[in-house]
Amino acid sequence: MLRLKNGDKFEVFFLDNIGKLEQAKLEAKRVVKVEENLEVGSEFCDLSQADRDKVIKYVFKRQVEMKKVVRLGGDMAFNIENVEFGGKSFETLYPINELDSYNGEELKKHVGEIIADVDAVIISFFSKVSYLNSSGLRELIQILKLMKENDKNFFLTDVNKEIMKIFTSTNLNRLFSIYNTPEEAMRLLT
């Protein structure tokens, strides 16, 4: 369940560095529940006007719909990006910090909610994941199973060396479709 209220601070991580920016801190100024979703109006924290302008230009240039930023269980967050590429709809999830049973369950729950609306789900930016345990792996396998049952594609990208060692030592690198970038995975379907 989303735990975000007025005054909460959260971070957004960018796919590409914007100048020297990799992320930005924001403060929720207006949080409104609309049906099952929260709409969040926010302000940048501690960014110069020049950096704010760069971020805004970046978002418009990429034509990215930043659907929501989710903070889970205190330590885990994931950003969500919806992209249309080659006539296909992709939802890319960017986990940050830990991937364990609780956080993996939240990812799986989110995938279950959007599966009918997308052609593929990509879990990317594993370079920001510092911890992955067997429960997190189980949840990833369950997401893969859910995607296959619904005849959808599922990819992992940007996996750091430590996490890749886990996939290799468990032979899960043979089960999952793992690519360097989300764009590389998207090109396979177009």
pLDDT at position 64: 41
Q: H helices of the chain, where?
A: 49-62, 101-114, 134-149, 161-169, 182-188
Q: For the range 142-151, what are the long-range contacts, defined as Cβ-Cβ under 8 Å and sequence gap of 24 or more?
A: 142/108, 143/104, 143/107, 143/108, 143/111, 144/175, 144/176, 146/108, 146/111, 146/112, 146/115, 147/111, 147/115, 147/120, 147/121, 150/115, 150/116
Quote the domain boundaries for residue 34. 9-63
Q: Is residue 124 domain-shared with residue 170, that is, in the same domain? A: yes
Q: How many structural domains is the chain composed of? A: 2
Neighbours of 1 (CB within 10 A): 6
pLDDT at position 119: 92
Within a domain: 182: yes
Q: Is residue 76 domain-shared with residue 154, that is, in the same domain? A: yes
Q: Is residue 91 domain-shared with residue 137, that is, in the same domain? A: yes
Q: For the range 158-161, what are the long-range contacts, defined as Cβ-Cβ under 8 Å and sequence gap of 24 or more?
A: 158/124, 158/125, 158/126, 158/127, 158/182, 159/126, 159/127, 160/126, 160/127, 160/129
Within a domain: 3: no
User: pTM for the full model?
Assistant: 0.62
Q: Is residue 92 domain-shared with residue 35, that is, in the same domain? A: no
Q: Is residue 47 domain-shared with residue 79, that is, in the same domain? A: no
Can you name the residues that pair with 122 across neighbouring β-strands? 92, 155
Token readout for 100 is 């364990």
Q: Which of 22, 46, 63 is the last residue of a domain?
A: 63
Q: Is residue 76 domain-shared with residue 144, that is, in the same domain? A: yes
Within a domain: 148: yes
Within a domain: 171: yes
C-beta separation of 110 from 71 below 8 A: no
pLDDT at position 33: 65
Mean pLDDT per 10-residue interval, the chain, length 190 residues: 70 72 77 64 78 70 45 54 86 82 84 91 78 89 95 92 90 94 87
What CATH number is associated with residue 106? 3.30.750.24
Q: Are strands 69-72 and 37-45 parallel, antiparallel or unpaired?
A: unpaired
Q: Is residue 57 domain-shared with residue 91, that is, in the same domain? A: no
pLDDT at position 93: 87
pLDDT at position 85: 84
pLDDT at position 65: 41
C-beta separation of 159 from 178 below 8 A: yes
Residue 144, CA atoms < 13 Å, CB-side half-sphere = 15
